[in-house]
Structure 1
Amino acid sequence: MRLQYPTHIHIVKVPCTGRVDLIHLLVAFEQGADGVFVAGCLEGECHYVHGNIFARKRVGRAKEILEKIGIGRDRVEMYNLSAGQGTRWAEICREFDERIKKLGPSPIRLAHEKKAA
């Protein structure tokens, strides 16, 4: 069975979500992303012990920053799932895509498009 998720979702693989830094999340928005989510191991089951805990804290900090600058905290999220939860992965992709569609384009992307026009 092939799992279906929106084709415009760009996947960036890392060995552990603990490698995802705050700057990576913010640069994604600067480069035109309307939303970003991090998907890591189940809590307590990280192969690198605490990587997903570090990632969750960084995502939380990104939410605070995005809220303060008027982008909105709902454009970034952290999910925990196991490698065997492919169906849940596809479901998360679709749910997050719907959330971002409701929020509309990122104000940063709109500003870039306006500047380029």
Structure 2
Amino acid sequence: MSTFEPSIVAFVCNWCTYTAADLAGTARMVQYPNVRLIRMMCTGMVDPKYVIKALLSGADAVLISGCHPGDCHYINGNYKARRRVKLLKEILARFGMDERRLKLTWIGASEGNEFAETINELVEEIRELGPNEIRRSIAV
């Protein structure tokens, strides 16, 4: 039996979280390679369809991460993202998906260590949850 390795898609803000990811990488902070970053100009630009598409395409979890509230380069994009994630969690729960498969975080540009910790914690949490059930039903 093989060990389950989760596949995680992360939609990250260009100005903060992507910069923190770059800092974590250049500082050679230890982090799992299970996450694929998709750089967005702002988390407010993450359409809920992108999240659903990622989960239906086999991602075991989705991370949305951006600037701290009040520090958005687009003024209120992170507040928009927060509202969308709350609604998405409710919708996904109605379809039987564990809400822990969708995570929203705020990571500033200088917080490379916070980025690495978030990635490692998310990978461990999803390993415990196991594979996305939708992936199994599609594979059949």
Letter matched to residue 101 of structure 2: R
Matches within 5 A, 1:1-117: 1-113=27-139, 115=140
Q: Any conservation in 2 of the 1:22–1:61 contact (CA below 8 Å)?
A: no
CA distance in 2, matches of 1:45, 1:84: 13
CA distance in 2, matches of 1:9, 1:81: 16
Give how far 1:71 is off.
1.1
Letter matched to residue 56 of structure 1: R
- Structure number with higher strand proportion: 2
Give how far 1:73 is off.
0.9
Letter matched to residue 19 of structure 1: M
Q: Any conservation in 1 of the 2:34–2:123 contact (CA below 8 Å)?
A: no
Note the residue ranges of structure 1 that are not aligned, 5 or more in a row: none
TM-score (normalizing by structure 1): 0.93
Q: Any conservation in 1 of the 2:32–2:120 contact (CA below 8 Å)?
A: yes
Segments of 4+ moved more than 6 angstroms: none
Note the residue ranges of structure 2 that are not aligned, 5 or more in a row: 1-26
CA RMSD for the aligned pairs?
0.9
